[in-house]
Amino acid sequence: MAPAVISPDATGEGGLYAPTVSDVPVPASTRQTSLELTVNGTPVSIADRAQSLMSLLREDLQLRSVKDGCSPQGQCGCCTVLVDGKPRVACVTPARRVRGRHITTIEGLDESTRSAWGDAFCAAGASQCGFCTPGIVMRLQSLSGPDDPADTEPAGGAARSEQVDQALLAHLCRCTGWQTIHEAWDLVRRGEASPEGRDLDAAGRRATLEGRANQRVAPEIALGHGGFVADTAPEYALIALADADGNWQVSESLDEARAMAGKVQGRRTTISHGWPLNLPEGRWATTLRTTWVEPGYVEPDAAWCEPGAEPVAAAANGGAFGAKNASNEFSIELARVSRELADKHGRAVLVLASREDVTRRGAKRPPVAGGMNADGSGVLRVVRTPGIADIIAAVAPGLTVEEVDVAGPPTSSLVRAAGWAEALVLAAGATGVVGQAGMVEAPNGSRATATINLDNPAQPVISIHVACGDPLDEIVVRSYCIGAAHMAWSWLTSEALTVDAEGVVHDLTVRSFGILRAVDTPLIEVAIEASDNEPVNGSDVVFAAVAASGWLARGCPPDLPAG
């Protein structure tokens, strides 16, 4: 087969052609060279622009199952592909380094293999937003053997489970709590996954309630087809990134835009995190301080626009548990900039936030410092956040809320159970009881209990009972509850973000957020209460219940994270 040829000014039809018009000259040393390699079984010859393998796949070949999550730190695993059958993160791999090699993305898997993974991830609830899962699928595919992903080893084999845990160390998933990914793996190798007989429209309605943004549930979501903003931009769109001074650098390619912007990537501070608020004076039954926490969604904020049109922006398939929505200032700014740049350049422009931008400017969980007495009276100081006082008052009317102005990143009361979970944690410590007879009730009326078993420190067990109205789809409810339990346990034990006295965030890598790894995550059991009541979000109350019960089980440590 003759190789397909792609050059900076090529035009044509079909998946291998990407029409581009470069405003940034290609250096003379590379303009005449090309890269020959085989992608998904097809030999290709691509102009050498000193691009990364990720840019080659996403931009030159329009293979957008390869996701750009850490931009580029090589830490989130979302861009994982197979190079000669071995997994590799594409964002930090120079395309020149794989010249002559065989590259496989999800699109290159045979149809039956691809369907098996999509069906399994859907059946297990192992994919929510679906941004990180294409890379995870490709890494698991590399474990399965080159010919048959439905491995014949007995289900639940300890060696296989450990192998998957070790493989997942290369990935970040904020949504699922890891456990359902193990279950999807098991379904694939046993050949037992099928979406038949399931109402996926109802599942999507439940996912939208839990994710706080429009969301679909379908096998193809796990395979990279969630309709994310950067994936839906036209292939001829210019790309814009902000430099250190906030000026937007516009280029034909992501690599060139990054070089022009000159952002510092991959930095993790050596400074220890602190607690931005002081405890209120008083003799309290219990006290609690929390620090800055990064919501940790993997899809960077983005927006794109055609000249004279309305921008496409904000969350496309999941709302980052309230941290990402069309009403926050960061999203509004990106949408505005995309429209202005599109009108200026006379063509579509995709505006991307770097991981540094997301970490420094994305909405955070507001830190608190408070004390409470056994009768429910007390004071809770919280970083000033619109709406937070009313939310706290709804669950803890005895608390006096003091909002404090603190230099730091923006905060949001929409982040999962923000404020009211902290109030319920304090109440549990002050009384020794979680909620009413062990049950936590959310402002929306959903209820949950959480039992923490620490008998085996090497494998804690979290058992959850949740009532959130009509489940609509129990697989989705279970998935979100497992994810919420993981998030709460991670918040208690390991998550923190270093912010200096001037309010500047110093932890800029996805690994520095402290999100709990698969190997460190407790076993999570979920029981869902059947009901005909109106369906409401249930994962937020699970987060609060696990946080309160977990805090009690760990001896009410006064400062979080507590290790």
pLDDT tens per residue, range 491-537:
999 999 999 999 999 998 899 999 999 999 999 999 999 999 999 99
Pairwise pLDDT comparison (30 vs 34), residue with the higher score: 34
Q: Which of 434, 403, 437, 404 is nearest to 421 (CA)?
A: 434
Question: Do 74 and 171 touch, CB atoms closer than 8 A?
Answer: no
> Can you read off the two tokens belonging to residue 381?
């100081």
| pLDDT at 1 > cutoff 60 | no
Mean pLDDT over the full length of the chain = 88
- Give the model's confidence band at 197: pLDDT under 50 very low, under 70 low, under 90 confident, else very high: confident
Alpha-carbon distance 439 to 353, whole Å? 40
Peptide bond into 561 cis (omega under 30): yes
* Residue in the block written with tokens 């399931």: 198
The H or E element containing residue 289 is strand 286-289
Query: Bridge partners of 103?
Result: 39, 83
563 pLDDT band, cuts 50/70/90, is: confident
> How many residues does the structure list for the chain?
563
276 has pLDDT over 90: yes
Alpha-carbon span 381 to 301, nearest angstrom? 30
pLDDT (0 to 100) of residue 106: 97
Report the range of poorest mean pLDDT among 7-11, 174-178, 287-291, 548-552.
7-11
Q: How far apart are CA 302 and CA 352, in angstroms?
A: 5
Average the pLDDT over 292-319 and give the result.
87
> Residue 323: which pLDDT band, with cuts at 50, 70 and 90?
confident
- Per-residue pLDDT, 144: 61
CA gap 207, 217 in Å, rounded: 7
Q: What percent of the chain has pLDDT over 90?
A: 78
The predicted model gives 106-126 an average pLDDT of: 96
Q: How far apart are CA 250 and CA 338, in angstroms?
A: 11
Indicate whether 289 pLDDT > 50.
Answer: yes
Mean pLDDT of 285-306: 95
Residue of 153 and 190 predicted with greater confidence: 190
With cut-offs at 50, 70 and 90, classify the pLDDT of residue 67.
very high
For residue 100, how far is the Cα from the chain centroid? Answer: 33
Q: Please give the Cα distance from 513 to 524 (Å, whole number).
A: 22
DSSP β-bridge partners for residue 167: none
Burial label, 244 (beta-carbon count in 10 A; 0-12, 13-18, 19+): exposed
In terms of Cβ atoms closer than 10 Å to its own Cβ (0-12, 13-18, 19+), residue 517 is middle
On the question of pLDDT at 146 being above 50, the answer is no
User: In the numeric block, which tokens belong to residue 439?
Assistant: 């049950």
Q: 137-151, 216-230, 297-311: which range is least confident on average?
A: 137-151
Rounded to an integer, the average pLDDT of 472-493 is 97
Lowest mean pLDDT among 38-42, 202-206, 266-270, 356-360: 266-270
In the chain, what are the domains? 4-108 (3.10.20.30), 111-227 (1.10.150.120), 228-263+301-353 (no CATH), 368-553 (3.30.365)
Over residues 554-560, the mean pLDDT reads 96
> What pLDDT is stored for residue 513 in this prediction?
94
The DSSP bridge pattern shows strands 312-313 and 447-453 to be unpaired
Among residues 477, 460, 480, the alpha carbon closest in space to that of 469 is found at 477
What does the pLDDT look like over 329-358, one tens digit per residue?
Answer: 888 899 999 999 999 999 999 999 999 999
- Pairing verdict, β 80-83 and 86-89: antiparallel
Is the pLDDT reported for residue 14 higher than 80? no
pLDDT digits 0-9 by tens, 219-270: 999 999 999 999 999 999 999 999 989 999 999 999 999 999 987 665 667 8
pLDDT higher at 158 or 182: 182
CA distance 521 to 287: 26
Strand 238-242 relative to strand 248-251, pairing:
antiparallel
Rounded percentage of the chain residues whose pLDDT exceeds 70:
88
Contacts of 453 (CB under 8 A, 6+ apart): 460, 461, 462, 463
CA dihedral (149, 84, 1, 20) positive or negative: positive
Confidence band for 322, pLDDT divided at 50, 70 and 90: confident
- Predicted confidence at residue 271, as pLDDT, reads 85
Nearest one of 290, 513, 561 to 423, comparing CA atoms: 290
Token duo for residue 163: 């192998």
**Are 36 and 102 a contacting pair, CB within 8 Å?**
no
Confidence of residue 71 (pLDDT cuts 50, 70, 90): confident
What is the average per-residue pLDDT within 375-389?
97
Residue 457's pLDDT is 82
Neighbouring-strand partners of residue 309 = none
Give residue 264's pLDDT: 61
* Number of alpha carbons in the 13 Å side-chain half-sphere of residue 92: 15
Convert 371-385 to b/e letters by CB count within 10 Å (16 or more is b): bbeeebbbbbbbbeb
